[in-house]
Amino acid sequence: MPRKDLTKLLFKRRLVWAVLLVLAAAAAIAVYGTAFATRAYLDQASSRGQTTLRLAVAVLRGQMSRYQSLPALIADHDDIKELLANPADEGLRTRANVYLKEINGLLASSDIYVIMPGGETIAASNYDGPASFVGENFNYRPYYQDAIKGEQGRFFALGTTSLKRGYYFSAPVTVGGRISGVVVFKVDIDAIEASWKGGDYEILVSDPEGIIFMTGRPEWLYAGLLPLTADRLARTETSRRYANATLRELPVTRSSFGDTHQLMTIASPGAAREYLVLDEPMPEAGWTVSVLLDTGSAHAQALTSVAAALLLLGLATLAGAIFLQRRARLAERMEMQASARAELEHRVEERTADLALVNRQLETEVTERRATEKQLRQTQSDLIQAGKLAALGQMSAALSHEFNQPLTAVKTYADNAAILIERNRIEEAKDNVSRISSLADRMASISRHLRNFARKPNEKLGAVALAGVVKDTLEIVAWRLKAAKATVAVDLGPTPPIVRGGSIRLQQVLVNLISNAADAIEGLADRSIELSARRKGGKIAITVRDHGPGIPAAIAERIFDPFFTTKGVGKGLGLGLSISYNIIKDFGGDLAVSNHPDGGAEFTITLDAARVPVREAAE
């Protein structure tokens, strides 16, 4: 698998893991976070509820302790004692009624009244009110039953006559060591209850049977938090605690949150609400004070917190995803760069390998070329050798021919001369001898030419006046010109040219050229030859032109080769132009041939111009 695909696969796997992790975290937050946050907010609510509860209990206790000892105090009053000793005395009754009303007003209590043994009320602070207790029998009330037994009584109940809820304190009236009656002190609780209204909590006070008798919520009044069993109902009936009020059960479901928080769900028509319940018993009164806090806000806050946490998780996931994606992109880019680099390196390696191959091929080629060159040189030297041998052969043939002819002639002339002398024909013999002499001259001439060809003359180069050389040349070639019936027109220009060279050899060259020209024009109509010289910059150009047939293009390149001749056997050696060419090259000049536009060959010698004319004859 390519590395890039592998990286992608790994990235995808990581992505899947990351998604699973985030989902797990979200689930954990949703489940444990909600529980945790709910617990935290319930803890907060609980501590708030505890404060409220403590305050409510303190207020209730304060209220009770304020009035607790008052019945005993009133019971000790003489007017009360006297009345109970003489219950039929109207005057005493009136005095007691007035007294009780007065004290009731002073103490801001609900009612104060005096009960005779047997339960009948004989004096009351509300004696003149519409719902006077006077004449009422309260023997069923526990506070009466306790007090008549000589104990302090206390009881909470709904007034059967007043139909007002109140807390009753009672004390026995002792006259002469005998219990002669009971004083009852009723405290109104409406003010305390009113202070509980409002706020986000509910305060309940329930009696030992679980019936709520104090609450800020009127609909919960006289409702039972505990199931209303027959026992409970019977006990309540006996004391007529709640007079004729209708008792009912509150639809309560109890539950708990963890080990610490007690919850209670109260169903009401249309909806059910859950409350956090905090209880504190008040054993001295037989009550249970409860504070109910609606858990709705705690749940809402917990949900908000969880939502915020999930949002944070979402943001973190998003940031993580962006980070991962960037990292992946970076990795991909780096991967691409690496692969591009690898590709480049691969190409470089390939190219290097190609180059190395080409290099090796070149080396092989060079070696082959060297071998070929070596072979070529060998072949060339072989050829030169062969050429030399061929030239030697040619020259030998030419020489033997050149020399054999005159030698044969010399032999013939000599033999003839001997016979002629024998016959005394001296004149003819003389003629033969002179012919032998001229033949010897010819052979000497050939020999001289060959010598020149073979040996480099030791003539020194210097300034040579062309005029003198031309003059000598014409003298030498005079016989040849005469034989060919040719004429030479000399034109050396306005200033006699002086060239750098050797006079003897230059003369030899000119002799060759003029002789060749004479050969070319022999027998033709125009037998004129022109010898001219012109200065061109630092050079002097000497031309020898004839009016012959010119040089055919086919042989133009070869006429300077040694032994090249078109002349018949015995006439040309083919050495003249070759020797001339070498002489001019020795002078540092040039010898070239061209055909004149008007016909005839034109040989041009180019030599360096010199200043001082020095005639030298050092040959």
Any contact of residue 567 with ligand ADP (CB under 6 A)? yes
Residues 381 to 400 in contact with ligand ADP, rule: CB under 6 A: none
Shortest separation between residue 561's beta carbon and ligand ADP, angstroms: 8
Size of the site for ligand ADP (CB under 6 A): 21
Shortest separation between residue 384's beta carbon and ligand ADP, angstroms: 21
Q: CA 95, CA 115: separation in Å to the nearest integer?
A: 15
Nearer to ligand ADP, 214 or 517 (CB): 517
- At 73, list the tokens: 């105090």
Angstrom distances, CA of residue 452 to CA of 185, 500, 542, 575: 180, 20, 22, 10
Interface region with ligand ADP, contact rule CB under 6 A, candidates 269-277, 292-300, 411-419, 547-555: 547-555
Nearer to ligand ADP, 216 or 562 (CB): 562
CA end-to-end span of the chain: 95
Q: What angle do CA 105, 109, 111 make, to 5 degrees?
A: 90
Phi and psi at residue 128, in whole multiples of 5°?
A: -100, 5
Any contact of residue 546 with ligand ADP (CB under 6 A)? yes
Nearer to ligand ADP, 11 or 453 (CB): 453
Residue type for position 32: Y
Interface region with ligand ADP, contact rule CB under 6 A, candidates 134-142, 372-380, 534-542, 564-572: 564-572
Nearer to ligand ADP, 110 or 512 (CB): 512
Site string for ligand ADP, 568-607 (x = CB under 6 A): ----xxxxxxx----------------------x------
Q: Which of 52, 125, 288, 512 binds ligand ADP (CB under 6 A)?
A: 512
Shortest separation between residue 573's beta carbon and ligand ADP, angstroms: 5
Contact 549, 520 (CB under 8 A): yes
Cβ-based neighbour number of residue 99 at 10 Å: 19
Nearer to ligand ADP, 411 or 567 (CB): 567
Nearer to ligand ADP, 531 or 601 (CB): 601
Interface region with ligand ADP, contact rule CB under 6 A, candidates 10-18, 40-48, 336-344, 560-568: 560-568
Exposed/middle/buried for residue 213 (C-beta within 10 Å: 0-12, 13-18, 19+)? buried
Q: Which of 92, 114, 116, 551 binds ligand ADP (CB under 6 A)?
A: 551
Contact 607, 539 (CB under 8 A): yes
Q: CA 76, CA 172: separation in Å to the nearest integer?
A: 9
Contacts of 43 (CB under 8 A, 6+ apart): 260
Q: Which of 566, 588, 615, 618 binds ligand ADP (CB under 6 A)?
A: 566
- At 103, list the tokens: 């004290």
Chain centroid offset of residue 309 CA? 34
Nearer to ligand ADP, 149 or 567 (CB): 567
CA atoms within 13 A on the CB side of 19: 6
Any contact of residue 516 with ligand ADP (CB under 6 A)? yes
Q: What angle do CA 188, 189, 192 make, to 5 degrees?
A: 135
Shortest separation between residue 510's beta carbon and ligand ADP, angstroms: 13
Contact 83, 114 (CB under 8 A): yes
Shortest separation between residue 575's beta carbon and ligand ADP, angstroms: 6
Nearer to ligand ADP, 408 or 566 (CB): 566
Contact 213, 286 (CB under 8 A): no
Nearer to ligand ADP, 223 or 551 (CB): 551
Q: CA 595, CA 576: separation in Å to the nearest integer?
A: 19
Residue with tokens 């509300």, as numbered in its chain: 126
Residue type for position 14: R
Contact 547, 600 (CB under 8 A): yes
Shortest separation between residue 600's beta carbon and ligand ADP, angstroms: 7
Q: Which of 189, 463, 517, 531 binds ligand ADP (CB under 6 A)?
A: 517
Q: CA 619, CA 604: separation in Å to the nearest integer?
A: 24
Any contact of residue 255 with ligand ADP (CB under 6 A)? no
Shortest separation between residue 467's beta carbon and ligand ADP, angstroms: 23
Any contact of residue 486 with ligand ADP (CB under 6 A)? no
Nearer to ligand ADP, 165 or 527 (CB): 527
Shortest separation between residue 400's beta carbon and ligand ADP, angstroms: 16
| Positive or negative torsion for Cα 426, 428, 429, 434 | positive
Residue 446 host element (H or E): helix 426-454
Nearer to ligand ADP, 209 or 546 (CB): 546
Q: Which of 394, 565, 595, 604 binds ligand ADP (CB under 6 A)?
A: 565
Contacting residues toward ligand ADP, per CB under 6 A: 512, 516-517, 520, 546, 548-549, 551, 559, 564-567, 572-578, 601
